[in-house]
Amino acid sequence: MALSERPRPLDGITVVSLEHAVAAPFCTRQLADLGARVIKVERPGSGDFARGYDQRVNGQSSHFTWINRSKQSLALDVKQPQAKQALLALLASADVLVQNLAPGAAARMGLSYEALKAHNPRLIVCDISGYGSDGPYRDKKAYDLLIQSEAGFLSVTGTPETPSKSGISVADIAAGMYAYTNILSALLLRGKTGEGSHIDVSMLEAMGEWMGYPLYYAYDGATPPPRTGASHASIYPYGPFQAGDGGTVMLGLQNEREWKAFCDAVLLRPEVATDARFNSNANRNTHRAALQELILQEFQALTAAQLVERLETAGIANARVNDMAGLWAHPQLAARQRWRTVDTPAGEVPALLPPGVNSAFDYRMDPIPAVGQHNAAILAELGWSAEQVAALQQAQTA
């Protein structure tokens, strides 16, 4: 049997998601990758507002393209009685409900775990929010950058002069990952108990976990790690260095043996290894500016490729500082055949396979849906006639 024909871990699992933006869609796309049927409930007409973030992928949003493959789109205005009836009918037999609506919105619609479990005791409900379902910050608006700030991420990221946010939606991704792993755990638990459960995932708490190292570094009032740009806060040399052709190479030394090899085979100046200013990591840290000037002076005679060759010869860890074009064309991703194509309403686009190669199954890589693309098929499964589907469509577009 071909790998693509083998069973996937979540085949037969149905996930209904009231989702938008990044955190919940990132979670549910990963469930879909493993074979789950994900029914994405969207606003009629406009759909998930992330569809309109930009038009970079054949006229479609880059965010939406990234995290919405392999889903079905059901356009419902849940304020309409018929639409609400359809949603509740879906949830009566679903395995998982995921939602990241405004705080309290799902509960006001009668979609709290307490309300739903009476009709479907096996249902797993995962609520994703900025600050959690209770506490003084419960109703506070929470966007990715705001959570990065609240969690202290900005205090340790950037340069000494300027705190910087992450270049990706790191708080949303963290919350989406913990929602995903909690749902997998809840499915395993349900297999033992036969009962569903409620999951409450907070973006702040997800980022709090990821901030564990700087938290403990600043334990009991100690000085927190400084912002050092792309350089390491406590090891030097460790960070980006520019070669003579303008290319930038990231390198990192971990111990005194590597420091000696760096001086011998990269700088070609073995005497620097025993210079009193640089003969320990603590001293190199203290005299960073002087050492940086010395290193850059030597690197000016090298191209980035020549520098990488010397670093490899010396056994020094290194990497090219790639841009997005470099990542698209990365030879390692190509060699491991990590690219597939997925269909979209605007044609096929390349897509990275999910991380992790499993010998037992192949990931699901199905199309990205148009808004409401699957209304007729899904509602027909609930026993709706073509006339009822048409009437709902008319009511939602009135």
Please indicate whether residue 232 is annotated as part of the active site. Answer: yes
Tell me which of 198, 232, 330, 374 is the catalytic residue: 232
The answer to whether residues 35 and 359 touch, using CB atoms and an 8 Å cutoff, is no
User: Could you tell me the two tokens for 281?
Assistant: 């990591």
The answer to whether residues 204 and 213 touch, using CB atoms and an 8 Å cutoff, is no
Describe the strand order of the beta sheet including 71-75 as a list of residue ranges. 71-75, 37-42, 14-18, 96-99, 124-129, 198-202
Nearest of 96, 89, 101, 91 to residue 49 by alpha carbon: 101
In terms of phi and psi (left: phi > 0; alpha: psi -120 to 50; beta: otherwise), the region of 220 is left
In terms of phi and psi (left: phi > 0; alpha: psi -120 to 50; beta: otherwise), the region of 372 is left
User: Could you tell me the two tokens for 327?
Assistant: 């990542």
The answer to whether residues 28 and 41 touch, using CB atoms and an 8 Å cutoff, is no
Cβ neighbours of residue 57 under 8 Å, at least 6 residues apart? Answer: 65, 344, 346, 349
Catalytic residue numbers, as ranges? 232
